[in-house]
Structure 1
Amino acid sequence: MTKVLSTYLPEVAVQPVFELIKVNNVHLKIVNERVTRHGDYRRMPNGHHQITVNANLNRYRFLITLIHEIAHLVAFQKYGRTIKPHGKEWKFTFQQLMLPFLRPEIFPPQLLPLLALHFKNPKATSDTDATLALALKQYDPANDKNYIFEIPPNGLFRLHNGKVFKRGNKRVKRYECLEVATGRIYLFNPNAEVEFIH
């Protein structure tokens, strides 16, 4: 298992993550990319805990995602299944589990202040923290995608499912975008990755 983990995690994080997996009886599945999520936690009918994490994540995002999902498991076991999935109990658990990993031996120095800020009040996904998401993207393999905020106003872009949108104005945090085929308005996170057409 540690051999597999060392493919996906920063080297210094492998052993402590392996311990967390063992202690919490996690069945870890590393899966092909899912566009809608980086990871997932499920309690199986047989009582086992299954966590899936996308194989295409860079080492740092993989670590954050895996700890995020383990925090769900630990919070449910400690506080009961009636807590909100990303409520205060989960946030506290995520902070506690993540703290030992926020070290320069694990994360690059330029990421540490952003992570420290993010973990003061962690969000349901690190993607909603635009500054952190952008910083983490630097460690992804190069791709031809753009973030929504990089698309010019009225610029056209395509989603993974082939739908084409025109970028509109920014509301408080998200962008209004018009689906060209239907005329319907959708809201997009600034750092959703899309394919810029023109």
Structure 2
Amino acid sequence: MKIDRYIIKTIIKTFVEYTLIISLGIFLIFLDENEFAGLEIKYLILILAGFKSWYFFVKGFRRISEFSGLDLKYYEFLVFIAFNISVIVISFGFDYLCIYKTDMGSFSGLPKDLEYPSLFFKFIYFSLMIFTNIGIIKIVPENTEAEILVIFEAILSFITIIFILSDFLSLKESLVTSKPKDERDIKE
């Protein structure tokens, strides 16, 4: 199973972009702990998570539009989508961790006194359960900010799974046929 070079280059480019976005979230945790103890930084985290969700949504559709014009195999598309889903899950895991560290009452169901790696793993697990809609979750959002984050991820999950992943071929066909007639005539 060979993957097209273009897909690999796109994944690497996207990885760099997403890493910068996720790094901002990590930076906010340390800002909150070190500099802005009195500031309600959880609202900043929430606003940035909203912008990040919109960015993931727009970026995903742009990539799909781009890929629909190429002669890709379905498994090559799935490799990109799997990467994209992984980044979304990890990113929301960081968001949940950020919200939790700014307000320990934002989630219930977590064991007390967990170190950062264990706590991050719990939130990755929580994010994966939200994204896949499995529903086996002991962690519960307890404030409005945490609930809004869950809504952001659930919407992104719905769009990714229902609209994109389950119907890529129809989406690809509609994107190709929606191009202006002049463009299609040139290619033919």
TM superposition score normalised by structure 2: 0.27
Higher helix share: 2
**Is the strand fraction higher in 1 or 2?**
1
Q: Is the radius of gyration larger for structure 1 or structure 2?
A: 2
Query: Of the two structures, which has the highest relative contact order with CA contacts closer than 8 Å and spacing of 6 or more?
Result: 2
